[in-house]
Structure 1
Amino acid sequence: MLPDIVTFWHGPLDPMRQTCLRSQIAAGHKVTVYSFDTIPGLPEGVGNAEAEAILPHAFSEKLRPAQPDGSWRDWTTLQFSDFFRMRLMTARAGLWLDADVLLLKPVEIDPAKPYFAWERVHLIGNSVLYLPPNDPIVGAFERLMAQDELEPDWLALRHRLTFAWHRLTRRSKRVSDIRLALYGPAALTALVRRYGELRYALPRKSFYAVHDKPKRFFEPSDFSALVNDPDIIGFHLSAKGRAKLPPVAGSLYAWAVDRFGTGACKSAV
């Protein structure tokens, strides 16, 4: 099955993510970006949908209070998206891909089975994610989201101790403050282990061959082995501040821009 691709975005799109979204369209997928506001620079062919219908903006107040002007604080967007993708699973919306996933080929899934890949040796990534709506991981997140405190029952011991120290020293009463990616890959990995779903995890290189080695994408290199490897479906990119910079000649990034073009852009509707 060739699933629809869905994701969430907050703010303007940089050139690197525009290229990634074009690659997803080029692979033959229907792509929809959910947002609360207009997205400047949305590539032609990429749909836009209202995020409020999936997870209300007000949910972010459980994470970190907004700035006085109403804008989200530092990592609120990241943590909000961790919950948003689970709500999309509940809604049977499709396959979640982060906006910085560059596809080399179509992604095929069995809608009755989970779909994700190892990001590192002991960590499953959530930048590429599909779960059936009745999957126990989806249920665990739904129960968590019903809480005001958003304190997972799968927290690692070190995180529980950190949170206890924060409360004791009155540094914070929000568990979301103790770790940036608290509800992301670490949570998914813990739940995958709890519910016996490790057998569904794809090999790391399926999507994470360059993730922790951004030089392999942004700097000149011989990348022929990467783009010709039949086991590599795409790349989850870690920009490290380079997403707005022009591609360097001879880099995998330059190849991607050339292959998927600059294309036309549209405003979100």
Structure 2
Amino acid sequence: MRPEIVTFWHGPLDSLRRLCLRSQVAAGHKVTVYSFEPLAQLPDGVANAEAETILPHTFAERLRPARPDGVWIDRTMLQFSDFFRMRLMAKNAGLWLDADVLLLKTIEIDAAKPYFAWERPRQLGNSVLYLPANDPIVSAFDGLMAQDELTPDWLSLQHRFTFLLHRLRGTKRISEVRLAIYGPAALTALARRAGELSSALPKKSFYAVHAEPKLFFEPQDFSALIGDPGIIGFHISPKGRGNQQPVPGSLHAWAAEKFR
């Protein structure tokens, strides 16, 4: 099955993410970006949908202390999107791709099976994610969201001890302690508990340049990357380089020319 690609964004889209969205359309997918405000400069073929229908904006206040101006900090968006993608899975909305995933080829999935890949030797990535609506991982997040404090029952002993120490200092919510507690670490722990780790694709499928941004942004020979049949796309994680002009001779420049 060729799935619809879905994602969430809050704030303006930079040029790199618009490039990645164009690549997803070029691969033959229907692409929808959910947001709370209309997004400007969306590429042709990319739809914009109302995020409130999936997860209310007010849910963010359960992740962090409310700020008087209501502005989200970086941590808010990351944690909110971790829950948002799970709500999309519960609604059978499609395949989640982070907006900074550059797609090289069409993705085909089995709608009855999970779809994700290793990001590190012992950790799954959640930048590329599909789960059936009845998957145990989706059910675990449903149960978590029914709590007031959003404390996972899948925390490692080390994380539980760290949280206990912070609680003794007055911290009330685990979302204030760990930035990615609901992201890849959660997906990995729950996939292990559900016996689904064997479904994971190899790291290179989507994360060949993720930990080494110079492989994407700096000039070099990238022919092996784009010629490898096992690489489906690149999760780029630009880290402040989203509006950087492509440097000639870089994979970034190649992609910008290919997906104009």
TM-score range, shorter chain: over 0.9
Number of the residue aligned with 2:127: 127
Per the TM alignment, residue 66 of structure 1 is displaced from its structure 2 partner at its CA by 3.5
Per the TM alignment, residue 212 of structure 1 is displaced from its structure 2 partner at its CA by 0.1
Q: TM-score, normalised by structure 1?
A: 0.95
SS in 2 for 1:125: strand
C-alpha distance in structure 2 between counterparts of 1:53 and 1:242, whole Å = 31
Number of the residue aligned with 1:78: 78
Number of the residue aligned with 1:118: 118
SS in 1 for 2:155: coil
Whichever residue aligns with residue 47 of structure 2, its letter is: G
Per the TM alignment, residue 159 of structure 1 is displaced from its structure 2 partner at its CA by 1.3
Whichever residue aligns with residue 244 of structure 1, its letter is: N
Q: Is the 8 A contact 1:31 1:46 kept in 2?
A: yes
Aligned pairs for 1:171-186 (under 5 A) are: 172-186=171-185
Per the TM alignment, residue 45 of structure 1 is displaced from its structure 2 partner at its CA by 1.2
Q: Deviations over 1:228-254 (max 9, x none)?
A: 110000000121221111010000000
Higher relative contact order (CA 8 A, sep 6+): 1
Identity of aligned residues (%): 72
Which ranges of structure 2 fall in alignment gaps of 5 or more residues?
none
Number of the residue aligned with 1:233: 232
SS in 2 for 1:256: helix
C-alpha distance in structure 2 between counterparts of 1:179 and 1:131, whole Å = 24
Number of the residue aligned with 1:34: 34
Number of the residue aligned with 1:258: 257
Give the paired residue count. Answer: 260
Per the TM alignment, residue 67 of structure 1 is displaced from its structure 2 partner at its CA by 2.4
C-alpha distance in structure 1 between counterparts of 2:90 and 2:239, whole Å = 32
Number of the residue aligned with 2:217: 218
SS in 2 for 1:42: coil
C-alpha distance in structure 1 between counterparts of 2:167 and 2:212, whole Å = 36
C-alpha distance in structure 2 between counterparts of 1:88 and 1:150, whole Å = 18
SS in 1 for 2:255: helix
Aligned-residue CA RMSD in angstroms? 0.8
Q: TM-score, normalised by structure 2?
A: 0.98
Whichever residue aligns with residue 169 of structure 2, its letter is: T
Number of the residue aligned with 1:264: none
Whichever residue aligns with residue 241 of structure 2, its letter is: R
Per the TM alignment, residue 43 of structure 1 is displaced from its structure 2 partner at its CA by 1.2
Number of the residue aligned with 2:45: 45
Query: Compared with structure 1, are the counterparts of its residues 40 and 66 closer, same or farther at alpha carbon in structure 2 (3 Å cutoff)?
Result: farther
Which ranges of structure 1 fall in alignment gaps of 5 or more residues?
262-269
